[in-house]
Amino acid sequence: MTWHRVNLPDAGGASLWRTSISISDIPSQHILVPSYACVSEAYQWQASAVTNNETSVLAPVCPIHKTPWAGFASANSETPALQPKIDCWHTLSSIEALEFELKLFLPHSDAPPVQDLLTFSIRPTDQPTAELPTPTFAVRTSQPAPVSQMQADKAIARRICSPTATVMAVMGSAALSHWPEVIESCYDPNTKAYGKWPLATYWASQQGVLGSVEALWQWDDALAVLEAGQPIVCSIRFAKNQLPGTPQEQSGGHLLVLYGIEFIKEEGFALVMDPAGADTDEVPRRYPLVAFTQAWLNHRGAAYLFSTKPQSQNDSDLDLSRATIRGH
């Protein structure tokens, strides 16, 4: 990933940077997920996509209680090929060539970021059931400390699965003490919701943990993360009675933490921390692997992936700066 400085008159100690990725032959009915994080205070970013000289721009991402930089464009879309969502795009027709661009505004720095992570993932929006792991691939990370979203204020309790799952995945035994701040940081004043994906990884970056939002399409990627000792925040949806053992009969969108898979003979189970549990004793759960795969990887497969927390943000041996494209 190469950052290019953008001229910023009267910068006053701030700087603006851009980077881009060219992608060809994206089929219809695919999801495109941009993600960015850096270990820097108060950074802001905006993603845009250009195809056939038509531009689609997503809303900028910035920290809570901060006004987005005035130079960012308003969220809009000129192209009928791309349908913008809150935090991604869906393709409505095939695209021969697309230019993805990310602009990064650093209000207190004149240099490009040193520790950062850019990802842009592409996969079919919907797909048949992914191939299941076999018993030889059983894996388990440390079980995160449980936090129940249902023990929050009733006005928001059913709306805060994203920040609750994020704090369990990132903060270990200190999850509960950081829970109020991540709830506040994940609130999006534009949508009045707590589930905007990049706000979760933004909060993690301010704790020294780089993360990405990615659209996974197979278990191999998830297993590699779990084998590295990191839990995964998974975005799932399921119809009534389609996910046995869940505290919710159905959901059009819910986030929980996957920390392993296990097998009893040939039957597989996903080991999860489900924030919808009524209390902390009800958060650890075990879901049938077939049903969990259908709820997660069949539709979009969105996930928050996190690095381990560095011992020092100035550690010269730590190389977290990378750009990746993950696609089908």
State mean pLDDT over 224-250: 96
Give the pLDDT band (50/70/90) at residue 308: confident
Q: Which amino acid is at 135?
A: P
CB 203 within 8 A of CB 210: no
Write the class of the CATH domain 135-306. alpha beta
What is the pairing mode between strands 116-124 and 322-327? parallel
Query: Domain residues of the chain, as ranges?
Result: 4-126, 135-306
Q: What is the CATH number of domain 4-126?
A: 2.60.120
**pLDDT(132) > 70:** yes
Say which range, 5-14, 73-82, 97-106, 137-146, has the weakest mean pLDDT. Answer: 5-14
Give the pLDDT band (50/70/90) at residue 9: confident
**pLDDT(27) > 80:** yes
Share of the chain above pLDDT 70, in %: 94
Q: Pick from 189, 299, 188, 199: which is nearest to 243 by CA?
A: 299
pLDDT for 254-302, tens place per residue? 999 999 999 999 999 999 999 999 999 999 999 999 999 999 999 999 9
**pLDDT(310) > 90:** no
pTM of the model: 0.93
pLDDT, residue 309, reads 60
pLDDT, residue 311, reads 42
Q: What's the helix, strand, coil split of the chain in %, to 5?
A: 20, 35, 45
State mean pLDDT over 102-108: 96
Q: Is the dihedral of CA 58, 63, 65, 68 positive or negative?
A: negative
DSSP string, 164-232: HHHHHHHHGGGHHHHHHHHHHHT-BTTTTBS--HHHHHHHHHTTT--EEEEE--SHHHHHHHHHTT--E
State mean pLDDT over 148-172: 97
**Average pLDDT of the chain?**
92
pLDDT for 172-230, tens place per residue? 999 999 999 999 999 999 899 999 999 999 999 999 999 999 999 999 999 999 999 99
**pLDDT(313) > 50:** no
